[in-house]
Amino acid sequence: MTTSRQREKMISGRAKIAGVMGWPIGHTLSPKVHGYWLHQYGVDGVYIPLAVDPARLEQALGALPVLGFRGCNLTIPHKELAVKIVDRIDPLAQRVGAVNTIVVDEDGRLSGKNTDVYGFQENLMAAGFQPLSGSKTAAVLGAGGAARAIIVALQEFGYSEIRLVNRSTKRAEQCAKDLSEGGTLKIFSWENVTQATKNVEVLVNATPLGMKGQPVLDIDLSNLSPQTWVTDIVYTPRLTDFLLQAKKKGQPIVDGLGMLLHQARPGFFAWFGVDPKVTDSLRRFVLDDT
């Protein structure tokens, strides 16, 4: 790695600036991801964490062009709120109802995008997954912000039936109502999760269950076919108990770290002009297990 002195030399008065806004922000891995790429590609740029109170999000976003920022990422709890603040929004972000990447356009206006959809799709495809043609069924556990992006990603892949399993029915109903346009969404309760997974081609955990400090996700996988892809968006630990259980059963599995890394690529490209690669050394660097 570079020393801080070497790093200082890489940043000139013309450095391109981007960052990530969240509240709190200390947990974010995004500065590590972008910092790795900035160093790897020798970009004269910086990417910094920005602790922004949701009550001041509009003010903070308005300051981006004033301060010469190329743009920023948004994390919890800003993604939904930003939809109403940006000047332009791409159709995918509008459909998901969340913005996670902002680009300051040449005219100083803010363009909002959602790259979680892309991150989820790229992560699966990088592992060898190929969406089949014809009628396709998937199941998603969870109906929060991440689940919404995943549902849209599955709809974009052509899934005609998406089974939504969520703890609270109200949230599942709202999610199904908002996202029904791209295909059929069927709501299942947690009690019926085994039925929901029957003959699906993809099963996704989009809840925090299984994350360090959270209860494990313990569901019956006996209804899965041998070809069902199982993926988890939790990435601490990288291989959750849920994924290990599926692996033991012989299912193809995909961990959630790749989604985090791939969703960062379009922003890096827009702000710093390089399309970065997701590599094993980046994965090890981000998880500190080199």
3-state helix, strand, coil in the chain (%, to 5): 40, 20, 40
Residue 189 identity: S
Return the SS3 of 283. Answer: helix
Q: Which of residues 213-232 bind ligand NAP (CB under 6 A)?
A: 215
Catalytic residue, from 9, 16, 32, 79: name it.
79
Closest approach, Cβ 133 to ligand NAP, in A, equals 27
Distance CA 230, CA 209 (A): 15
Residues in region 171-190 near ligand NAP by CB under 6 A:
171
Whether 53 and 78 have beta carbons less than 8 Å apart is answered as: no
Pick between residue 143 and residue 286 the one whose CB is nearest to ligand NAP.
Answer: 143
Nearest to 259 by CA among 33, 14, 25: 33
Stretch that binds ligand NAP, among 105-113, 208-216, 221-229, 242-250 (CB under 6 A): 208-216
Q: Which stretch binds ligand NAP (CB under 6 A): 16-24, 40-48, 83-91, 144-152?
A: 144-152
Of 17 and 19, the one with the shorter C-beta distance to ligand NAP is 19
Of 62 and 215, which CB lies nearer to ligand NAP in the complex structure?
215
79 is catalytic: yes
Query: How many residues bind to ligand NAP according to rule CB under 6 A?
Result: 25
Got the DSSP string for 211-274? STTS-------TT--TT-EEEES--SSSS-HHHHHHHHTT--EE-SHHHHHHHHHHHHHHHHS-
Q: How far apart are CA 161 and CA 224, in angstroms?
A: 16
Q: How far is the CB of 191 from ligand NAP (least distance, A)?
A: 12
* Residue 147 is a binding residue for ligand NAP (CB under 6 A): yes
Q: Rule CB under 6 A: is residue 137 a binding residue for ligand NAP?
A: no
Active-site residue numbers? Answer: 79
